[in-house]
Amino acid sequence: MNWIEVSIITTSEAVEAITSFIHDMGANVSILDPNDLKDFKTELNWVILDDSLLVSDDTIIKVYFPEDVKIEDKVLYVKEKLKYISQFVDIGKGEVNICKIDEEDWANEWKKYYTTIKVSNRIVIKPTWEEYIKNDGEVVIELDPGMAFGTGTHETTRLCIKLLEKYVNSKSIVFDVGCGSGILSICSSKLGATKVVGCDLDPIAVSASNKNISLNKVSNIEIREGNFLDVFDDTADVIVSNIGADAIIFITSIVGKFLRKNGLFISSGIILDRTKEVKDTLQKNNFSIIEIQNEGEWVAIIARKDKYAKILY
């Protein structure tokens, strides 16, 4: 399939606001943030990528639409939203560029930005095209993200993985809301969860998740397409959702219905400045805040379903 790539030249600060409305458009997104890449090279003892990729200070958000869409309408909408967002956050250059690209070219281009990394004490994320000999105690996850979001390299994904590693056990049933490439579902399974159910509105994400589940030879994961309200018919011990502050706030009043007594809600994709807003919303909806972790400008919050929520932070 051929795609139309819309590149938005912006800043790290504007990523959450921009990707939030893009996800609402049903588009697929990749993000090249030089600040993230520099952090990887300094924080991790890994050669993450070529220094030539760090030549610009701009953040580039690449959005992919099927070639049969009316791209002029999409671009006009993107520009209007950028103009609106610029009133509240620095969007930098705010340039919008368009080019056609086929899926094979996209996949080959993506490989330049993605290599094996250790994202937590135990979890190693390895792209399918690389070799890796695991060390004792490590859990290696094979991943081919395709056109879906979620590679383990972004802070929000790493935060979720670290919290899953801490709280998932052999008795856990885990729901993954907005599963993307399936990375958090697969992590949950390999960390010992007895059952995992993931969902995503995007059929491409559902396909990518199922492909990655097959690659990792895990049999206790089911991926469902659609809104979690419609596709979940049971309750879980842990719900994880890496979907951004606005979406987390929106689902907080509902998500507790799908949690067992004392169940845990791991939420991420939250920019640091919006931590209090998300935390307050959770507490108003009978969640106790158990833990807040951050990497750089990004935050993950773990909260417990509690009829009498305790304010611990």
**Predicted model pTM:** 0.73
Distance CA 155, CA 158 (A): 5
Those residues whose C-beta lies under 8 Å from the C-beta of residue 37, and which sit 6 or more positions away, are: 48, 49, 53, 54, 113
Q: In the prediction, which pLDDT does 258 show?
A: 96
Sign of CA dihedral 142, 272, 200, 190: positive
The token duo for 286 is: 């009978």
Is the CB of residue 203 less than 8 Å from the CB of residue 228?
Answer: no
Can you read off the two tokens belonging to residue 187? 């992590």
Topology given in CATH for the domain delimited by 117-305 = Rossmann fold (3.40.50)
For the chain, the domains span 2-109, 117-305
Q: For the domain 2-109, what is the CATH superfamily, name and number?
A: ACT domain (3.30.70.260)
Q: What is the pLDDT of residues 118-156, one digit of tens each?
A: 889 999 998 888 888 989 999 999 987 555 555 666 788
Share of the chain above pLDDT 90, in %: 53
For tokens 């859990």, what's the residue? 139
CA distance 187 to 40: 21
| CA–CA distance, 289 with 313 (Å, rounded to integer) | 7
246-295 pLDDT per residue, tens: 899 999 999 999 999 999 999 998 988 899 999 999 999 999 999 999 98
pLDDT score of 45: 36
Nearest to 16 by CA among 184, 241, 245: 245
Mean pLDDT rounded to a whole number for the chain: 84
Examine domains 2-109 and 117-305 and report if their fold is the same.
no
Residue 281 φ/ψ region, left for φ over 0, alpha for ψ in the -120 to 50 degree band, beta for the rest: alpha
pLDDT digits (tens, 9 = 90+) for 173-228: 999 999 988 999 999 999 999 999 999 988 878 988 999 999 999 999 999 999 99
pLDDT at 91: 94
Neighbouring CB atoms inside 10 A of 184's CB total: 29
Rounded CA-CA distance 312/125 in Å is 33
